[in-house]
Structure 1
C-alpha cells in the first residue's frame, strides 16, 4: 500500500501534522518508535505553558493561530485542553518591555503591575521589578492534548503505528520509501517530526541536497515539581504561568531564564531554560544530576516563597534547539522536515501541524525564519 504522506514522530508536532493531513483528505500513516504516550522525548508530561508573550510579531500571530486550533480540538473532543489562568513576565525591564510593546501592537490585553502589587496578588512568587500580566495566557494539559490529536487523526482516517522505529528513508523518483522492521513503506512524501531524532534521520540527506539543517543541540533538561506550602493555594488564580527574564549578576553574567506553571495534581513545575548537557537522545539514562537539582532548588527557595523548595519531584526531558531557538519548518523535494521546538514549541502544536501539512501537500512555504538555506 502507498500513502500520500508518512509522518514520523507522534509527539505534539507529528500528531498535529497527521491530524491536519488527514483532515485535508490525505491518506496518512503516522509512525512512532515508542509506545503511545511515551516519555522518551519532549512532549510528555501533564502541562506546558501557553502564552502570547513574545517580542516577535510572527510568533505572536502563530500563538493566536494555535489558540484557535486548541479551542477547535476541545470542541471536537469535548474535553478541556487549554486553561487560561494568565501568564506573567517579570525580571529584566528591557525584555519585559519588548514583550509588552509587541502584545500591545497585537491588541492583546495586558496589565502592568509594580513588584509590590504583583506580590500582593500572587504571594507565592517573589518579584524585584515591574510585572507584566496577560490574562490570555495559561497552560495546556500536555498529555491530554497529545491524546486528543492522535484520536482525532485516527477519526479523520490516519493510520497510527506505535513501537515502529524507522530504519531508513530513501528518496526515489516517485516519492519516498520508509523502512520499518524490514518492511518498505511507500509514500508520495514524508514529514519528519521526530524531535531530537530528526537530525539523525535526515540531516545527511539534507546536507547533500544543499539545504543543511542548522546545528541542533539536543540536551537533557531537568525541571521539577514543587508542592505548594498551602494546599488551598494550589489553584489557578494563585499560580499563573510565568517566565522570569533574570537580570545579570554582580559580574555582569546573565543567568538562564526560568519558567514555571501549576500542573494540576502534581505541584508547581519550575525549570531553568536550556541549561542541560548535550546528549544522544537514544542513550540518555535520565539519571537526576544532584548539582543541577541543587541549583534549581536554590532558585526556588529565593523566588517561590509559596512552595516547599526542599521537596522537589525532578523530571528528565529532552530539548532540541537551534542556536536562534527558531524552529525548522521546510520541505526539500518530497521530504518535509520539522525540528528545533523544545522549550517553547508545544504551545504552537495545531498551527505547526497546519503549516507542515501545507508544506507537504502543496509546498506552501513557512515564514522565512523557519526555512532551510538553499545552497548553490
Structure 2
C-alpha cells in the first residue's frame, strides 16, 4: 500500500490550491480526483467565474485583497492570464450599492457610485433600477485554467496526481488513515484534506471523524444550478460588458462574459440559487428546468436590452451551500474539511488553499468564521 504525508481529496479549485501550497512547502502530497481535475461534474469547470471585491462586510473584501496576491503569484508561475479584467456593476434594492461602496472605501478599493441614469449612459445594454456600484478591478476567472495551473505547480513541486480515484471511505489505522477508492484501491496517509465539494454530504458518513465534530457541521445544501448563454445584440461590443449582480426582493440574477464556455459569443446569465436541491453531487442529472429557463429569459428581456432573449447554450453546475454562505475550514485529529464555497468561493481559491495548508500542517490559523464552533453558535459572518 502506498503511503504519503498528505492526501488531498478533490482536485477542484480548493483542493488543487491546497495541494499546490502543501507541495510548495516541501510536503509529500497525493492529490486524488474522482475523474479528472476541473471536470464538468464538479463546481470548478469552465472559463467563467466572477472575481469581485464588493461584499457587504469588510471581512470578505479584505480576504479578496489577500487572495489577489496569490492569484498574481500563480499567474507569474504559470505564465497564464487567469483573471480577465472587466469591472463589475452591483445594483438592486437588496444589493445595497451604497453599503457596498462604503466597504470599498474603507478598504481603499477604486469604485464609483452612479445614478441609474449615469450607469445607463455608460452601459446602455443593461437596464438599471437603482443606484449602481461600479468597481473596475473586478473580472472573470478562468476556472479550468486556474485548476490546471495549480495542479501543474503542485506536480512540479513533487505532488502526485491520481485521476479516476473516487474515494469511498477514509478509516483511521494505527495513527494514520487508509483511503479506499470505489474500485478497491487503497492509499495510506498521515493526514487528509477533504475538498470534495458537492460530494461532501455523501462522504461525511464514511470519514473517520469524531461524532462531536460531525454534530457541529452546519447543514450542507447542494444545488444543481442552471446557467444560460445569450447572444449579444448585433452591434454590441462584447468588451464593454462588465460582470453584474442584480439583487431585488425575491430574485437575484448574475451575469458575466461567457468567454470560452460561450464561444465568446454571449453573456452567461443565471438566477442565483435557482436550481433544485440534491442529496449530493452524485444525484445531479444535468436537466434544465423549463420554469427556470423561462424566468431567466423573461429577466433578460426586461433588464438586459443588449442581449437577444433566446439562449443559444445552457448548462448546469453545482453550488454547495452553508446556511450563512460562510466557508467551512476545520480540522479534527488528522482530517481537515474545507469548503463548501456557497457559490462565491472561486475568487478565494488560492487563499483557501493556503489556509487549509496552514491548518493541516499547524503552520497557521484560519479565520474563526470558518470554524465549526463559530457557525454552530451563530457568530460567523454572513457572506451574501
Structure 2 alignment gaps of length 5 or more:
377-384
Aligned length: 366
Distance 1:261 1:175 in 2: 44
Cα root mean square deviation, aligned? 1.7
Deviation per residue, 1:224-246 (Å, 9 max, x gap): 111111355111xx111111121
- Asked whether the equivalents of residues 227 and 268 of structure 1 are also in contact (C-alpha less than 8 Å), the reply is yes
Q: Could you tell which deviates more after superposition, 88-97 or 202-211?
A: 202-211
- Asked whether the equivalents of residues 171 and 334 of structure 1 are also in contact (C-alpha less than 8 Å), the reply is no
Partner residue, 1:371: 371
Distance 2:253 2:3 in 1: 46
Distance 2:265 2:10 in 1: 27
Q: How does 1:1-376 map to 2 (within 5 A)?
A: 1-92=2-93, 95-180=96-181, 181-203=183-205, 205-206=208-209, 208-211=211-214, 212-230=216-234, 232-235=236-239, 238-246=240-248, 254-264=249-259, 265-279=264-278, 280-362=280-362, 364-373=364-373
Distance 1:260 1:356 in 2: 30
Report SS of the residue matched to 1:70.
Answer: helix
Report SS of the residue matched to 1:316.
Answer: strand
Report SS of the residue matched to 1:257.
Answer: strand
Distance 1:79 1:191 in 2: 27
Deviation per residue, 1:149-185 (Å, 9 max, x gap): 1111111111001111012101234121111232321
Distance 2:94 2:8 in 1: 42
Structure 1 alignment gaps of length 5 or more:
247-253
TM-score by length of 2: 0.91
Distance 1:361 1:62 in 2: 21
TM-score by length of 1: 0.93
- Asked whether the equivalents of residues 97 and 113 of structure 2 are also in contact (C-alpha less than 8 Å), the reply is no
Deviation per residue, 1:333-354 (Å, 9 max, x gap): 1000012213101111100000
- Asked whether the equivalents of residues 46 and 142 of structure 1 are also in contact (C-alpha less than 8 Å), the reply is yes
Q: Could you tell which deviates more after superposition, 90-99 or 281-290?
A: 90-99
Distance change (3 Å), C-alpha of 1:292 and 1:25: same
Deviation per residue, 1:59-85 (Å, 9 max, x gap): 111111111111111111111111222
Deviation per residue, 1:272-305 (Å, 9 max, x gap): 1112111131122111111110011111111110
Distance 1:94 1:71 in 2: 29
Distance change (3 Å), C-alpha of 1:19 and 1:266: farther
